[in-house]
Amino acid sequence: MRKPRILARRTSRELSMQVVSRSTKRNSAEDRTRRYPAAVETSARLELAQLIADELISHPEAVVGVALFGSVARHEDSDASDIDLLVLVGRPAIGARTLRTFLPSNVSTQRVSLACYTESMLREGMRTHASLALHLKLEAAILADTGGRLSTIIHTPIDLHQAADAEIAALRSSLERLRELRQYNGDYLFLLSRVYRISRSLVYAFLARLDIAEFDTATAFAVLSEHRQELAPYLQALERLRPFSDLTSEVPSSELPFSREAHGAAAYALQAALKLATA
Amino acid sequence: MSSIAVELFDRVDEFAECLTANPKDFWKDKASNESIAVFCENFFGQFFATLGAPIAGFGVKAKEAAVRKRLSLPESAAPTRQLIAEYEDLCEIWDDIKGARYVEDREAMQDFACTYLSALLEDAAGWLATLSSPDDKLVLARAEQCWDKYQEAVKPICP
């Protein structure tokens, strides 16, 4: 028996209206939008990231610091890359949706990813996610930082081995949720995309466990293969899945290594990831 | 074969169980975030496959294609159009709730749990009710069971 809705919800139309009213409120800020370039190359993305950080930090009641990380920070970005910003917020109730209301409307149409943390969440995140800790320690560019609080957290020494172990355990749990192959009804695209992303995180965590920090996304699988040769066949199989991940992210992708409906190949990829997670 | 895999609703149950067990910090549970992301991705993947319009993600281009598909359907296909509108809404918020490893966005997950998912489950049941195969009837029964459980689980966390 269907029940009446007990929770308020926003329809597409209401969401659209919300966007319109938000834009209208921002009319006074329209002049500022001209400062925001279309981010089509690294230098433009870096400039845009700084402008966004300046805008966010002008709301000191909400934002404490902003750092750029990911492919743009590494200057490895492509046309479809997100600008990944870590935002240190004053309280946990502030999320990406609120932060986007601080930005001019033409920014929200670009690929900007806002990862929000309070200070305690970020400290905990770095203690339990070696790949996050490595990313931030190796590549984060601090764009805004009230009182140096964000910089202090990023540069506080942590036990990377412990963080790697915690992350691997969490990723193993995530993989468990993917195991039931019947749930995909014969189309494994989203499974393969997730398996690739989880595997990439596993690789970073294993490298952290080996005290290896000199790698990038293009070489991480190969670097781990050199150090853990018994895992090489699995790593090779998992690295091949990248086009599935690119496809789901609307990133221009190379040809898929096999069909998204290939049951045997999907099952093998999942097994390879589970092998890696338990290595 | 059913239009939607019945096993997929187990992922919603896992998310509901996390809400019940940990209403204060449910949004920090990466495994349950993974569960609900798996449900959303594959539910819509399978739904659009039944429409002959397969999707590959939840980005800007995917949303534009969905809008075109929705507008091409007659008003008599209201449950289908409504579910496509749910997909369009999800494309808007997907970056914030997709279960990214690093992001623990309480605001986004609270909105998602209290507002979005409940509506999606109801509209999913509404659409499944329009299908006639015996396999789909079984999925409908499972979806309604799942929705009942979720409604109970989500009450304590929603204002």
- C-alpha span between B85 and B120 (Å, rounded): 10
Alpha helices in B22-59 (DSSP H): 30-50
* Residue A203 counted as domain residue: yes
Chain center to CA of A277: 20
In a domain, A19, yes or no: no
Strand A83-89 with A112-117, pairing: parallel
Task: Find the CB nearest A248 among B14, B46, B56.
Answer: B56
Query: Is residue A21 included in any domain, yes or no?
Result: no
Structural domain boundaries enclosing A140: 36-155
Q: Is A141 helix (H, G, I), strand (E, B) or coil?
A: strand
The last residue of a domain, from among A121, A155, A189: A155
Among residues A100, A134, A155, which one ends one of the domains? A155
Same domain flag for A86 and A132: yes
- From the first residue on, what is the mean pLDDT of each consecutive set of 10 residues in chain B (159 residues)? 96 96 86 92 97 92 94 95 96 74 73 93 96 96 96 91
Q: In this complex, do B107 and A94 lie within 8 Å of one another by their Cβ atoms?
A: yes
A96/A132 same-domain check: yes
**Testing the interface with B: which of A3, A5, A6, A12 to mutate, by most B Cβ within 10 A?**
A12
Instruction: Answer whether A247 sits within 8 Å of B56, measured CB to CB.
Output: yes
- Is A43 domain-assigned? yes
Instruction: Tell me, yes or no, whether A43 and A144 share the same domain.
Output: yes
| Whether residue A244 is found in the same domain as residue A267 | yes
Q: Are residues A142 and A48 in the same domain?
A: yes
- Give the tens place of pLDDT for each residue, A222-260: 999 999 999 999 999 999 999 999 999 888 778 999 999
**Of the candidates A130, A155, A180, which is a domain's last residue?**
A155
- On whether both A250 and A212 belong to a single domain, the answer is yes
Shared-domain flag, residues A222 and A258: yes
A166 and A99, same domain (yes or no) = no
Whether residue A256 is found in the same domain as residue A179: yes
Return the pLDDT at B107.
82
Q: What is the CATH classification number for the domain harbouring A219?
A: 1.20.120
CATH code of the domain covering residue A136 = 3.30.460.10
Tell me what pLDDT residue B88 has. Answer: 96
Query: What are the tens digits of pLDDT across the range A104-137?
Result: 877 755 678 888 899 998 999 899 888 888 889 8
Contact by Cβ (8 Å): B54, A188: no
Residues A44 and A116 in one domain: yes
